[in-house]
Amino acid sequence: MKLSKRFVVMLLCVFACVGIFALGGCSSSSEADTPQATTPETETEVEAVTEEPATDPVELQIFAANSLSKAMDEVQTLYTLEHPEVTFADTQYEASGTLNEMLGGGAYADILITASKNTMDDAAEAGYIDEATRFDMFTNDLVIVAGTDSDVDKLELEDLASGNYTLAVGDASVPAGNYAKQALTTTDPQCWISADGAIGKDCSGKEGTFEGTPLEGKVTEGSSAGNVCSYANSGDVDAAMVYSSDVYRFGGVKIVSVVPNDTHKPILYPAAVCADSEHAEAAADFLDWAFTNEEAIKIWQEWGFELA
């Protein structure tokens, strides 16, 4: 059967159109099924969504014994460099007894570090600390010092019983003064007499008298270790009894002897998170780091402290 030319042309046009539509459909389907490449911008957006939220900033308030001031300032600076989210308020350095008085008066602190077990016991009894967080942080030595320019180069504890020397010690609020008085009860004759008659490690070193001893009228009591050192440095007294760390901290004095450890209670610096701390976890983290970090330990040792 003979087809007209016009009819043949029409058929060819129809077939061509069908082929074009078929190819277009395949192409669209193929593009839809093909995963799209992730652009760098898309990756950045995904990472931004999955990133951990930034840690909220924390400011810690520390109450610490006077003798820790120089070392603690350096340790806090190092900690902030490693933990920029943590800063420190104006750290309060006072005699340990004064720190307890401040807490009792309503002052706020996240951390308390005292220079004696007894003062931390007082804080615990008053409810100022979380006892579960308490631990002994440092030890120290009790030493007899004289001014750097003094002619006194060696002076033992027993030499004080001769009555030939004037002496400076801390008052009842200063732990170093308590330890000094404990040691002075062990001389022969006694240079300090405790109110309850206890001697050495068995007495508190807080209540007692120099009256009736070789040191009667020859003792100057200071309200801080700095004051005690200054009396020796200036020559107001022949000698003073302070911590070995105080020599590094204040200067102007030299060690002329180390007081035997068996004449007084162990010198310990207990630390604890305060019961009312609003940042208890951050405070505990700082104490743990300060006690274990190698660089922090070096700083403590440079200032005369040893870890307990």
- Average pLDDT on 23-36 reads 44
What was the pLDDT predicted at 130?
Answer: 98
pLDDT above 70 for 8? no
What was the pLDDT predicted at 68?
Answer: 93
What was the pLDDT predicted at 56?
Answer: 86
The larger pLDDT score, comparing residue 39 to residue 103, is at: 103
Q: Tens digits of per-residue pLDDT, 193-250? A: 999 999 999 999 999 999 999 999 999 999 988 999 999 999 999 999 999 999 988 9
- Average pLDDT on 108-112 reads 98
Domains of the chain: 58-139+267-307 (3.40.190.10), 142-263 (3.40.190.10)
Q: Mean pLDDT for the chain?
A: 87
pLDDT above 50 for 31? no
User: What is the amino acid identity at position 166?
Assistant: T
What was the pLDDT predicted at 222?
Answer: 95
- Predicted confidence band of residue 47 (pLDDT cuts 50, 70, 90): very low
Integer Cα distance of 145 and 184 in angstroms? 15
pLDDT above 80 for 172? yes
Q: pTM of the full predicted structure?
A: 0.73
pLDDT above 50 for 44? no
What was the pLDDT predicted at 278?
Answer: 97
- Average pLDDT on 30-51 reads 44
Helix axes 69-82, 280-292, angle to 10 degrees: 110
What was the pLDDT predicted at 95?
Answer: 86
Map the chain to HEC letters. CCCCHHHHHHHHHHHHHHHHHHHHHHHHHHHHHCCCCCCHHHHHHHHHHHCCCCCCCEEECEEEEHHHHHHHHHHHHHHHHHCCCEEECCCEEECHHHHHHHHHCCCCCCEEECCCHHHHHHHHHCCCECHHHCEEEEECCEEEEEECCCCCCCCCHHHHHHCCCCEEEECCCCHHHHHHHHHHCCCCCCCCEECCCCCHHHCCCCCEECCCCCCCCCEEEECCHHHHHHHHHHCCCCEEEEEHHHHHHHCCEEEEEECCHHHCCCCEEEEEEECCCCCHHHHHHHHHHHHHCHHHHHHHHHCCCEEC
- Predicted confidence band of residue 54 (pLDDT cuts 50, 70, 90): low
- Average pLDDT on 118-146 reads 97
User: What is the amino acid identity at position 114?
Assistant: T
- Average pLDDT on 123-148 reads 97
